[in-house]
Structure 1
Amino acid sequence: MTLDEVAKIAGVSPSTVSRAVRSPELVSKATLTAVLQAIDETSYVPNRAASNLASNRSGTVAAVIPAISYSVFADTVHGLEEVLSEAGMQLFLGATGYDLDREEQLVRAFLGRRPDGIIMVGSHHSPATRELLRRSRIPVVETWDWSDDPIGSLVGFSNGDAFEQIVDFVISRGYRHPTFGGWLAGADSRASARRDAFRDTVTRQLPGEQIRILDTGGRGISVEAGRWLLDRALADHPETDVLVCASDIFATGALLEAQARGLRVPDDIALTGFGDFELSQHLSPALTTIQTPDDEIGRRAGQLIIERTADLDAKPVSIDLGFTLIVRDSA
């Protein structure tokens, strides 16, 4: 179905149909009603390509995230989509699987489609990806991290500071033999920042204490990997009195494994997580964790993209949304 055919059915000119689709406020109510009825009858889909070429805008924004299945990133995407849809912009998603090569491929593919802006989870990228983004001449917003050298704008928080706070907390509660558990084999710089903060805080707070770090390796990020972490902590470091997990996913698995073994949490071993997933407050005992501003990260990133597409000369900004220590019964 073509524009001319819709115009014929509506009894108006093709230019009037185009005007009604692009700027409905510029046509009369009767004309708009006739055009919309004709579009509905014919299932006509406006071709945006020509208008996009004329305006040099695509009406789209690309977001590159580690994984769609994790609730924290799903919440960020939800906040982002809400803001962008209100502005009439469409969101494209790509998942890297924590692979820097895959991230570079996605960035190349998205930039080839000329989005109006691009949103990245994380601030650690390959040199090629950084160069692609810097040369793109479109608004770039990095999220979920903190950096002294962002590519464009930045919305997030310091993963290192957050993990330092939770380690300080468990030590203040009297735990003296903490073990870190997480996935360090992938290209997740945020997990590495949490590990480094664990090491530095234990070194500062407990001089001479062994630094215990467990990596799930090929097991990745899963509840089953969390069960494995508790198993290894008990086998390799039986003195462990608190397992400090890099994610609530791990902490959930560790809690299930502890209960299967008849261990009391936190009496026999304490557990902490990171992320404050919805399930975390409903576990028994509920998880002590770090609450992150998942939805707000998406909303603020979307707002920055909209503002900067309206003013390409606007200076990039860095917005620290912080984090919150949530104290519950697991530690």
Structure 2
Amino acid sequence: MTDAEPSAPPRLTRRNTGTVTLDEVAALAGVSPSTVSRAIRDPEQVSLAAYEAVMRAVDETNYVPNRAASNLASNRSGTVAAVMPAMSYSVFADTVHALEAELSAAGVQLFLGTSGYDEAREEQIVRAFLGRRPDGIVMVGASHTEGTREMLRRARIPVVETWDWSDDPIDCIVGFSNRDALTAIVEHIVEAGYRHPTFAGWLTGVDSRARARRDGFEDAVRRLLPGEPVRVLDTAEHGISVEAGAWLLGQVREQHPESDVLVCASDIFATGAILEAQRRGLAVPGDIAITGFGDFEISRHLHPALTTVQTPDDLIGRRAGELILERIADPDAAPVSLDLGFTPIVRDSA
């Protein structure tokens, strides 16, 4: 704290055109341009009086610091990019909020792109983000096009894949096994006495996590219910929606009337199925039991409340943010694979 308290300078007027410069802010604050730079970049390096004068001048002029020069000097952009399938689902929103909280506390800004569960679109987004030189990238899922994987490897920046599990991650991975999580649900329903399950999800899309859940279902049925047919329904063009869940309930009653439990790849489908069962006058779980995946907020408020898998949404975001920041600080640190697990939640629907 070496700067003397500045005397009040004459008020400056902003130019009619162009952006406010560092020199203009310095003149208004009554300090040197280097003091303005230090006050913005590292307030501890200036006196409290100088800092307050600079902040008043910044507010009055709407000054926007130009980070380009400092970024070039440090070879860092102060940004991290994240690619999500969608932001309309609460589980991904929770992950992004937790990730952003970790990064912003460290002064790092988050850029966000959504792929719509399309790996080709994901590749386009990654290419665009890498052109802006982020310090790291967070991805949902561990299944990508070979082009995406190659770009991320060649970028030589920290990469954290999330919401999935792989023995061959690009760099770091923070998530859980979707396959094992669905297996745990099947183990529960078999223990509860159900013998004729049907799996339902969006399988013609490119959501690799849904396919992993289907694989877990099929393996568990073959192991726990030998001789039982493996029943699988695909929403196909109906995609992912509550309406698709209602459609699935109709399909299981029509195609597999013997089925005593509908195992949904997402709480979104399960919600639609429960509402459709109520519309049809079917008792859940009396006429057909229903399970979900994700433990969305609505799941505990349905009637009956939904049996599902609770995923560590917030924790995935927090740990991904921590890993990115650690790897930015130490580029030579070894990659980390962090399995956060999952929790089956048994409620009244199954």
Q: Which interval holds the TM-score relative to the shorter structure?
A: over 0.9
Gaps of 5+ in 2: 1-19
Q: Say if 2:129 is the partner of 1:110.
A: yes
User: How many percent identity over aligned positions?
Assistant: 74
Provide the rounded CA distance (Å) in 1 between the counterparts of 2:197 and 2:221: 8
Q: Say if 2:202 is the partner of 1:189.
A: no
Provide the rounded CA distance (Å) in 2 between the counterparts of 1:33 and 1:295: 36
Q: Say if 2:224 is the partner of 1:205.
A: yes
Provide the rounded CA distance (Å) in 2 between the counterparts of 1:166 and 1:214: 17
* Secondary structure of residue in 1 paired with 2:335: coil
Q: Say if 2:245 is the partner of 1:219.
A: no
* Secondary structure of residue in 1 paired with 2:195: coil
Residue aligning to 1:271: 290
> Equivalent of 1:77, from 96, 102, 109?
96
Cα deviation for residue 207 of structure 1 reads 1.1
Q: Say if 2:190 is the partner of 1:165.
A: no
Q: Say if 2:164 is the partner of 1:145.
A: yes
* Secondary structure of residue in 1 paired with 2:139: strand
Alpha-carbon RMSD across the aligned residues, in angstroms, is 0.6
Provide the rounded CA distance (Å) in 2 between the counterparts of 1:251 and 1:36: 52
Residue aligning to 1:322: 341
Provide the rounded CA distance (Å) in 1 between the counterparts of 2:31 and 2:225: 79
* Secondary structure of residue in 1 paired with 2:144: coil
Residue aligning to 1:47: 66
Provide the rounded CA distance (Å) in 2 between the counterparts of 1:168 and 1:95: 34
Letter aligned with residue 121 of structure 2 = R
Q: Say if 2:158 is the partner of 1:134.
A: no
Provide the rounded CA distance (Å) in 2 between the counterparts of 1:315 and 1:328: 41
Residue aligning to 1:21: 40
Provide the rounded CA distance (Å) in 1 between the counterparts of 2:142 and 2:263: 24
Deviation digits for residues 229-254 of structure 1 (CA, Å, limit 9, x no counterpart): 00000000100100000000000000
Gaps of 5+ in 1: none
> Equivalent of 1:302, from 309, 321, 325?
321
Letter aligned with residue 84 of structure 1 = L
The two structures have a TM-score, normalised by structure 1, of: 0.99
How many pairs were matched up?
Answer: 331
Provide the rounded CA distance (Å) in 1 between the counterparts of 2:56 and 2:230: 69
* Secondary structure of residue in 2 paired with 1:105: helix
Residue aligning to 2:258: 239
Provide the rounded CA distance (Å) in 1 between the counterparts of 2:32 and 2:106: 28
Residue aligning to 2:77: 58
Cα deviation for residue 15 of structure 1 reads 1.4
Cα deviation for residue 284 of structure 1 reads 0.6
Cα deviation for residue 134 of structure 1 reads 0.7
* Secondary structure of residue in 1 paired with 2:347: coil
Deviation digits for residues 134-162 of structure 1 (CA, Å, limit 9, x no counterpart): 11110000000010000001100000000
Relative contact order, higher structure (CA 8 A, sep 6+): 1
* Secondary structure of residue in 2 paired with 1:9: helix
Cα deviation for residue 44 of structure 1 reads 0.9
Residue aligning to 1:259: 278
Cα deviation for residue 298 of structure 1 reads 0.3
Which of 1 and 2 has greater Rg?
2
Residue aligning to 1:12: 31
Cα deviation for residue 129 of structure 1 reads 0.5
Which of structure 1's runs of 4+ aligned residues deviate more than 4 A? Answer: none
Deviation digits for residues 85-130 of structure 1 (CA, Å, limit 9, x no counterpart): 1001100000001111100000000000000100000000011110
* Secondary structure of residue in 2 paired with 1:214: strand
Letter aligned with residue 129 of structure 2 = F
Provide the rounded CA distance (Å) in 2 between the counterparts of 1:219 and 1:162: 24
* Secondary structure of residue in 2 paired with 1:181: strand
